[in-house]
């Protein structure tokens, strides 16, 4: 069969997106971009919402799931742009007729089993915490991105900081506080003694800066902790680094060019990440050659320390006064939206978005 545009299909691919994390909307746009690129590359592609799944018609049941890959429909037609606030997940869960007892929607696993590879376009909870990766390993499903262990390590910001310290990777000082221990640790002043103001408060397993706040005072801190606990039972309180923000993608152990992120207003929060024009991004970043080299090698060291094996994006801050840089975290399924950083880094070395998607697939199946 020849697809539209006269290209011969190379693989059957499921783009898995959506889900029930706070980054659901971002995931759907990531999935849409990837889906379009893979179609242009000649693959037979389906985009499936991991949580909502796909209900087969009686005719589709008769001809079998494989026939879906030859369907010429646009599987992204109902995907809207990213809103300025994160989605209402309870409304999404109410859309499942079975009440959503299982994370996977109807026929998700059956469809994925018929694919040559599943392109993971999920972000945040479940998509990046290793659970789906572990399940796919048991089911013999090939998928893009990193394995379940590295995904779990990187998703938990507290564990990430523990690993950074163990491998002497520069990172802001910080502590973790579980919701049930919050009052006791505030009373004994442990966070003030170790971190102090201003500080960053974030949900331990959040993403896209959802549940992240800057606290400059006791009142700010209490509000920030309450915000973080909306999304997780544990919060990370971290030293605030005033300075420039950078990101580096590492693919197969090798760093791409550094990108600098400069929000026009405030910090790099959910709105500034996904609303076009809200942030100035410069790639390659304007840095001295030695600093560039050192930061890229540090990103590669993180990649190895966190036992990553495909591609990931490391986030950094550089202190305005000391010029020292600190690694904040590693993202195992970084965004691939029109405003995302990894495609911009790839473009800086002549890799188009379509080529980037192919490279990610090759890393999955090699």
Q: Are strands 12-17 and 259-263 parallel, antiparallel or unpaired?
A: unpaired
Enter the DSSP assignment of 66: G
pLDDT for residue 338: 76
pLDDT: is 86 or 116 the higher one?
116
Cα distances (Å, whole numbers) of residue 120 to 10, 18, 100, 314: 18, 10, 21, 18
> CB under 8 Å to 1, separation ≥6 — which residues?
9, 70
Continuous segment of H or E residues that includes residue 214: strand 212-215
Q: What is the mean pLDDT of residues 350-358?
A: 96
Read off the pLDDT band of 211 (50, 70, 90). Answer: low
- b/e burial code for range 241-274 (CB count within 10 A of at least 16 → b): bebbbbbbbbbeeebbbbbbbebeeeebbbbbbb
Query: Model pTM?
Result: 0.87
The predicted structure's pLDDT at residue 233: 82
Q: Give the pLDDT of residue 329.
A: 94
d(CA 272, CA 289): 28
Alpha carbon 352 to chain centroid distance? 20
* pLDDT grade for 236, boundaries at 50, 70 and 90: confident
> Average of pLDDT values for 322-326?
97
**By percentage, how much of the chain surpasses pLDDT 70?**
87
Q: What is the mean pLDDT of residues 161-166?
A: 94
Between 33 and 80, where is the model more confident? 33
Q: What's the alpha-carbon Rg for the chain, to the nearest Å?
A: 21
pLDDT at 110: 97
Largest CA distance in the chain: 69
The mean per-residue pLDDT over the stretch 22-34 comes to 91
Q: What is the mean pLDDT of the chain?
A: 87
Mean pLDDT for the stretch of residues 184-205: 74
pLDDT band at 6 (very low <50, low <70, confident <90, very high): very low
Strands 243-251 and 311-319 turn out to be: antiparallel
pLDDT in tens, 65-83: 999 999 989 999 988 765 6
Residue 191 pLDDT: 60
Give the model's confidence band at 64: pLDDT under 50 very low, under 70 low, under 90 confident, else very high. Answer: very high
The position carrying tokens 């163990």 is 166
Residue 209 CA to residue 151 CA, distance in Å, equals: 18
Q: Which residues of 42-60 are buried (b: 16+ CB within 10 A; e: fewer)?
A: bbbbbbbbbbbbbebeeee
Residue 26 predicted with pLDDT over 70: yes
* pLDDT above 60: residue 2: no
Lowest mean pLDDT across 16-30, 132-146, 172-186, 346-360 = 172-186
Does position 268 have pLDDT exceeding 60, yes or no? no
- CA-CA distance, 112 to 66, in Å (whole number)? 10
pLDDT in tens, 280-323: 899 999 999 999 999 999 999 999 999 999 999 999 999 999 99
Query: Please, what are the domains in the chain?
Result: 4-143 (3.40.50.20), 173-239 (3.30.1490.20), 243-350+361-365 (3.30.470.20)
pLDDT at 82: 57
What is residue 270's predicted lDDT score, i.e. its pLDDT? Answer: 45
Question: Angle between the 148-155 and 157-166 helix axes, to the nearest 10 degrees?
Answer: 100
For residue 275, pLDDT over 70 is answered with no
Number of residues assigned to the chain: 366
The larger pLDDT score, comparing residue 182 to residue 40, is at 40
């Amino acid at each position: 069969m020849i697809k539209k545009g006269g290209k011969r299909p190379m693989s059957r691919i499921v783009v898995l997106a959506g889900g029930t994390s706070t980054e659901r909307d971002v995931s759907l746009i990531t999935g849409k971009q990837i889906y379009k690129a893979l179609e242009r590359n000649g693959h037979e592609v389906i985009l499936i919402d991991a949580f909502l799944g796909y209900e087969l018609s009686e005719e589709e049941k008769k001809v079998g799931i494989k026939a879906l890959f030859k369907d010429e429909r646009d599987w992204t037609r109902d995907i809207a742009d990213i809103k300025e606030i994160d989605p209402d997940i309870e409304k999404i869960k109410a859309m499942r007729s079975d009440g959503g007892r299982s994370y996977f929607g109807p026929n998700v696993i059956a469809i994925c089993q018929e694919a040559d590879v599943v392109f993971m376009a999920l972000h945040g909870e479940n998509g990046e915490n290793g659970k789906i990766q572990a399940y796919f390993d048991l089911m013999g499903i090939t998928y893009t991105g990193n394995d379940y262990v590295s995904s779990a390590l990187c998703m938990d910001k507290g564990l990430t900081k523990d690993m950074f310290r163990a491998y002497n990777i520069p990172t802001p000082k910080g502590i973790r506080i579980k919701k049930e221990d919050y009052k006791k640790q505030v009373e004994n002043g442990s966070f003030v003694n170790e971190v102090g103001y201003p500080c960053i408060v974030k949900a331990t397993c959040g993403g896209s800066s959802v549940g992240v706040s800057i606290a400059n005072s006791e009142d700010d801190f209490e509000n920030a902790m309450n915000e973080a606990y909306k999304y997780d039972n544990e919060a990370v309180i971290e030293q605030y680094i005033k300075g420039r923000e950078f990101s580096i993608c590492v693919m197969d152990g090798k760093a791409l060019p550094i990108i600098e992120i400069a929000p026009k207003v405030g910090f790099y929060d959910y709105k500034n990440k996904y609303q076009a024009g809200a942030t100035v991004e410069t790639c390659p970043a304007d840095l001295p050659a030695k600093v560039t080299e050192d930061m890229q090698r540090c990103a590669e060291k993180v990649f190895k320390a966190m036992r990553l094996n495909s591609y990931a994006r490391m986030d950094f801050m550089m202190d305005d006064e000391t010029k020292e840089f600190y690694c904040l975290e590693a993202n195992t399924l970084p965004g691939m939206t029109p405003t995302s950083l990894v495609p911009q880094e790839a473009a800086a070395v002549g890799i188009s978005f379509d080529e980037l998607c192919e490279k990610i697939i090759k890393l999955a199946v090699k």
